[in-house]
Structure 1
Amino acid sequence: MAAAHKETSVAETLSTPLPTRSGDESLAVRIAKSVSIVDKGALHSLAEFHAWFAERGKRVARVHKMPLDELVGWSTDPDTHNIEHHSGKFFSVQGLSVELPGAPVAAWSQPIINQPEIGILGILVKEFNGVLHCLMQAKMEPGNRNGLQLSPTVQATRSNYTRVHQGNAVPYLSYFQDTSRHSVMTDALQSEQGAWFFQKRNRNMVVETDEDIEPHEAFMWLTIGQLHRLLAIDDLINMDTRTVLSCLPFSGAELAEQLPGPGSELRLPILRSCSEDHGSLHSTGDILSWITDARTRHEVRTRPVPLREVENWRRTPYTISHDTGRFFDVMGVHIQTDGDREVREWTQPMIAPVGVGIVAFLVKRIEGVLHVLAHACVEPGYLDVVELSPTVMCTPANYEGLPPAARPAFLNHVLAARPEQVLFETLLSEEGGRFYHAQNRYLVVETDIDITPELAPDFRWLALHQMVGLLRHSHYVNVQARSLIACLHSLSGAPRDL
């Protein structure tokens, strides 16, 4: 394995020390302490959380499908057939032409969401009794199958927080717009789904404050350990919370040694994976070179086109759908809510995926350190050609009728996994503000297969500290991989039977 001292210069670039607030403890140890607190030592028990969340869920959200031409505030351009908001803000649905020379499917066109403005996804944290707590929001999104999910403190597009819709102000926004009085734990632009968004990015932030804050009724302080425990529940922790949690700098030297204690048999390999001093199969310098090579080697040509020029898609009054019935639909919805939204009623287009997807990391213990098998993945909506994705990321039904070479590598390994190989499995929703009932089954599957760069040039084994280091920067790790990193971190905490 690549020893930590052999990659010091690169590791320093990727893991700049951050401010601390509790004596000499590193931020990674402070985060890990919060990970270890599930009930005792937390402001609220999980039972109190579930009672509060159930009460919040009684507020009614009504979401109905409606014809695309009847969306209020939206119109279809008569020339391009693009769907656009009257303000010119929020987002539009347009066409995209894609060419991937040498790929099993070398060219296609599709509808895609173009949302050029950058939103804020932010979690506000504060110490209570020496333990970091996160201020979380119970928020309804129209695309959530179950309505209410747990979101970050702030989850807002620029159009939302500049109040283009003339709605209510976004609570706690000022903590993320002016951080001069606070401590910034993480702040980076991160991409979203490259198959459905065109070059979409959000600012992922975690900001620590020591000011007195009275939570609004839709907000509650929770430890990171409590959030990790809630990740095991289907459709509870939303996508935006997962991506921000993954960006926390839960990576540091001697982390495993500084956090002894009971836990699952998997806990020590994960903590070692979070610690630079336990090394990794490939040096971080080699990983950066591999990513750069993949971005150079893969040629991707994308071109925005009018929606009317997209081939093999048809428009009906209610949807825009692929001729095969696969992939996704573009649909219109009307939303009414009694919840704590900035606006109580509105209409909008949404993407509705066909089928439940599979998002999985194959993981392997290499010299006692857990490694994930990352894929240098090409998607048409990425800003920089390639981002690291999970080992498998697909909706299997979409590959029916395509050449066998188009079937995702390692999908069969995931589908054939024995129960004892599955270390984590939860059904989780994707972003409910743009996607309607978009769900993926997130899995972590342990394997002992040998994967070499020669056999699989677009795959590499990475330790978790390398993934976390890359998350200090933009456009390296995709949103699905970020969700799985949060899920993997959740396995490092207290035993689940406590």
Structure 2
Amino acid sequence: MISRRIAESVLTRSDLEDFHSWYEASHRTGFMHVEPVPLEELKGWHTDPVTGNIGHESGGFYTIEGLDVHVPDRPISHWDQPIIHQPEIGVLGILVKEFDGVLHCLMQAKAEPGNHNGTQLSPTVQATRSNYTRLHGGREVPYLDYFRRTEGHVVISDVRQSEQGAWFYHKRNRNMVVEVREDVELLDGFHWLTLGDLHQLLARDDLVNMDTRTVLSCLPFAGTGLLPSFAPPADSFQDALIRSYDGDPRSRHGTNAILSWITELRSLTRITARRVPINRLTQWRRADGRISHERGLFFEVVGVNVTAAGREVDRWMQPMISAAEPGLAALVVTRIDGVLHALMQARVEPGYVDVIELAPTVQCTPRNHERLPPFVAEVLSAHPDQIRLDVTLSEEGGRFYQTRTRYLVVEVPSAEGLEGPAFRWMTLAQLVDLLRHSNYLNIQSRSLVACLHSLSGSVERLSHV
């Protein structure tokens, strides 16, 4: 049973001394120098003189365009903004193999131009279609064939998932976990880790990248009979978390009711998001080599000049999105009849393919709001004993420059009075089940699901409960 095998890998942890030696060496050899440059100086990129849109001269990779958004019956019913349009489907894949009967993941130390600290831990393969078809004229993507030709291997998960709907227009990647049984050549810059090892590393700021987090969230880490495998202390947070994975029938809402709620909201929500020329945006200005909001809020479109070692290409330039300040993504959880539930938010974002996806309880950048969204004040003022996880992680470093989010899991004593039209309590088994399908959990939720996975096998980190 795959959930049991995943659980065994979660419970197998090392002291990570070998990992840190390897990671530090990879950080030195995976050198990357990133220099901000004006958009006008980006070699290989062209600004259309009529529309103002920015695109690559090859016609591939992505474009920076404008988006005009109307959402009637909302407090803010109309706005416009720049957005990344990248219609191609990329591959995010983790290769797994058993060593001594335990699943290990083949991870890559990869430097991205937008990463807060340069090198971070990425999936085995992290490549757009333009990358793996070598539109850039660079070297081949290692291990790609395991994910493009899966015959003879075991596909543990394979699902298309969205990325940030506020910054990408209809962007999706194929999230894959593929198990191999034959020998795999270990190339420089790659390292085998158990899921338990990865879970320890998720507690560290800016180490496990966004693409790794989304793939880990899609693992089928739920099923009956998990509680004896973990043997957590009775009545602890960890006990409630494992019961939540265990498919326990004591869920606040049945899965059919959750699906009906999402479908109804998608059917009733009116939203129009039209791609428009950047030159037609009313509140955004291109000046001083960047595109910025007239009030200095939200984000900017900036240019970077990159020199790298250990990448398919050694030098390139590109436009990126840079957020004004770190975001906040917080999941409020509680125990209902001994089973942990998470308060999920049905969230509208203009770049989603299907109108609404499930977001964390809180997802915002507080500075951008004159009136804070629900639960922000409660989350930020939570007592330390309520905080189960608090880590700051980088967003996708290939498109977002120095853009980070503070991820929190906050436990509250009661579920009563917190649900509303856009909020529902859900178990982890329900979330894992939805992650077998596209367009249900957004990227911020998937990061938090991966972080919750990391709490399942860690008794010592829950010693205060």
Is TM more than 0.5 here?
yes
- Does 2:16 match 1:34? no
Q: CA deviation at 1:278?
A: 4.3
Structure 2: give runs of 5+ residues left out of the alignment: none
Supply the distance in 2 between the matched residues of 1:262 and 1:369 (Cα, whole angstroms).
14
Given candidates 442, 461, 480, the residue that maps to 2:444 is: 480
What is the aligned partner in structure 2 of residue 410 from structure 1? 375
Counterpart position of 1:426: 391
Q: CA deviation at 1:495?
A: 2.9
Map 1:130-209; keep pairs closer than 5 Å. 130-209=101-180
CA contact (8 A) 2:232 2:459 kept: no
Q: What's the counterpart of residue 327 of structure 1?
A: 298
Aligned to 1:465: 429
Residues in 2 aligned to 1:31 and 1:245: alpha-carbon distance in whole angstroms: 11
* Pair 63,303 (structure 1): closer, same or farther in 2 beyond 3 Å: same
**Post-superposition shift, 1:167?**
0.4
Q: Which one of the candidate residues 406, 409, 417 is aligned to 1:444?
A: 409
Give unmatched runs, 5+ long, in structure 1: 1-25, 40-44
How far the C-alpha of 1:257 sits from its partner, in A, is 2.7
Q: 1:396 aligns with which of 362, 366, 370?
A: 366
| Mapped partners of 1:109, 1:155: distance in 2 | 31
Backbone CA RMSD of aligned residues: 1.4
* 3-state SS of 2:253 partner: coil
CA deviation after TM superposition for structure 1 residue 266, in Å: 1.9
Per the alignment, residue 79 of structure 1 pairs with: 50
Tell me, in whole angstroms, the C-alpha distance in 2 between the residues paired with 1:263 and 1:151: 35
Match of 1:12 in 2: none
Q: Shift of the alpha carbon at 1:351? A: 0.1
Q: Distance in 2 between matches of 1:149 and 1:450?
A: 37
CA–CA separation in structure 2 for the residues paired with 1:484 and 1:421: 16
CA distance in 2: counterparts of 1:217 and 1:183, whole angstroms: 25
Q: Say yes or no: does 1:354 pair with 2:324.
A: yes
Q: 1:91 to 1:264 in 2, by over 3 A?
A: farther
Give the conservation status (yes or no) of the 8 Å contact 2:336–2:415: no
Q: Confirm whether residue 367 of structure 1 aligns to residue 337 of structure 2.
A: yes
Corresponding residue of 1:266: 237
| Aligned partner of residue 28 in structure 2, secondary structure | coil
AA matched with 1:388: L
Q: TM-score, normalised by structure 1?
A: 0.91
Q: What letter matches 2:325 in structure 1?
A: G
Aligned to 1:342: 312
Which of 222, 226, 230 is 2:197 aligned to? Answer: 226
Secondary structure at 2:304 match in 1: strand
CA distance in 2, matches of 1:446, 1:277: 20
* Per-residue deviation, residues 253-306 of structure 1 (Å, max 9, x unmatched): 121134325699321111100011343110000000000011012111110100
Give the equivalent residue in structure 1 for 2:265: 294
- 343, 347, 351: which one aligns with 1:381: 351
- Once residues 313 and 263 of structure 1 are traced to their aligned partners in structure 2, the CA distance between those partners, rounded to angstroms, is 55
Seq. identity, %: 55
Structure 2 CA distance for aligned equivalents of residues 277 and 441 of structure 1: 30
Distance in 2, matches of 1:124 and 1:451, equals: 42
Contact 2:235/2:338 (<8 A) preserved: no
Alpha-carbon contact 1:229-1:496 (below 8 Å) kept? no
Question: Which stretch shifts more, 262-271 or 327-336?
Answer: 262-271
Aligned to 1:22: none
Code of the aligned partner of 2:47: T
In the alignment, is the contact (CA less than 8 A) between 1:272 and 1:278 conserved in 2?
no
Partner of 1:70: 41
For 1:346 and 1:279, the matched residues in 2 are separated by 53
Task: Tell me the residue number matched to 1:16.
Answer: none
Q: 1:95 is aligned with what amino acid? A: G
* Residue 361 (structure 1) shift: 0.2
